[in-house]
Structure 1
């Protein structure tokens, strides 16, 4: 029995609860399980003989014939036998997060690949599947959950601000009778006002220290890998439905020298912001691209087709506590600004060619031997 034929083989494939796809060495689909049909929305007859890149988001889906063979010396050996969090694309264009395991098989001298695919969108085991990735994000995840600090932060700030108010009111009352004794008390009250205001400022500085400091190490890492994993995390709750999601990353600008945890969180934040901005948009399109920046840097752009930024928000976009969200604290983009600046880069928001907003961030490129981690 050949590798690609046989009722018995397909009967086994259809028992796999998740998606199972068999492709030949050229990447042509030779078997497509019932689980794959349900996951991707294609019937087996629609995909047989087509390149497996059909199931991938851009730019992979444009890479037709010879996809597997061309990548044998690059991507494929790195993921054979290893589960990896990445993204896939269904028949309706929806991009969703998956766990991909790829195995190489040989039958009667014929080579091929078996892909086991698990949809992570609503999986009960999502937390376990992403445990390793999320544990690496431990430091910056404190930033993502900073809304939970709102009560304690408000309590800390309330004390010095209340003292400022009380001292100012007392000084105002004392000035109604500007006797020498009262003027001395006014000066004392104003001195106390200044001290309490400084204390409030120190509380805010401690918050910024909490966010920006810590044990961080910079490494030479793949920008495309960071973007792919951040995309998978951002799409975890099905937020990619009806979104035309595309990545156009320059392979010659892939290696960057960064703290991968922090930069991944920045990209995750920008993607989530873009998805939220497009909730009411009739056509939802999100493109992540990279271009040469200033010498030694790569420019990463996250562009959406949302409504764009209101002028009063755009002017103070990266200031703390500036937000257009009803329940937001306005710290996400401020934190992104802190992280990118600490890497020697810049972050800016500009009108997107898609009609919405495009966030531009610059990151330092890596040179051979620059890894200081």
Structure 2
């Protein structure tokens, strides 16, 4: 009795549909998964011929298939392990994989059908075929568009650098840039990002390296442009005095763990971000958004300027008087002659080469930390790595 109850519980909770019919094709039972797939209630189907769940031509031919099988004993006639179509109550059809077993039950034979819905797989296949057909053209079009955008942003950056001493002209140009960035760049960048993510999602089951390569190119280009755009917008807000810190209590460890997970997704191959907290307390009172921006900016730099197969150390500490955040990498480091200019707007060290960046990130970090009455320190040796330390006077929150 216990075994029978266990078997019934398994059938009732199975993900795939399970149907049993007698030797005449009459339906004897359907589990909840099968009823949901076909859109019926149990009272609507029990006692009726299984052909009611089949579209043509299988509907008209099923009794013949079953009779031929019973007469000849050819098991393949039933279609064990093959792909077929089902007919829902609303008249729509759907593909599924059918496996059939012949069961000797008491003094008679029944047939048990196991149904695995293939609707999502088929839909993904169709979408992938469409995306694969359009991918090359899409990549070419997006690449041209992104190149134009990069050129426009580079020209805007050079224009800003030449105009820093003229305050009135600078303010006018920043207003134009913010307006252009908000309306002309963010919407198309979001569309490109969404499209590339959808392509990547639908391509995953097929492990096509060519598709992955082109999708990654799109995502990297969009990421670089988004970073440039965000840096310029942040600088404009700081210059305009529109950034006011909102000090509030929050869980530093929870925030840091979320940032670690988020940044690990964009890390290079076999780059690992190792997070560790020191201290018995985890609550601090700072501006959570400003601190998050500082952490992400510094970790993103560590990712960019470190190679594959490396570790990035991300540590937080709460003691009796301070909150300390440390990000350490073993990347290309900062030349000693460049270190005194490191926090100046638009400055980039001479060894950054072709690594993308605006030269604004560290200036923004310094100013955000200052708004929270904090300090930014660093230690670096060329080709040996860099350590950044954010320090805030803090009384641990209970």
Both structures adopt the same fold (TM-score exceeding 0.5): no
> TM-score if structure 1 supplies the norm length?
0.43
Structure possessing the higher relative contact order (Cα contacts under 8 Å, 6 or more residues apart)? 1
> TM-score if structure 2 supplies the norm length?
0.41
Q: Which entry has the higher C-alpha Rg, 1 or 2?
A: 2
Larger fraction in helix: 2
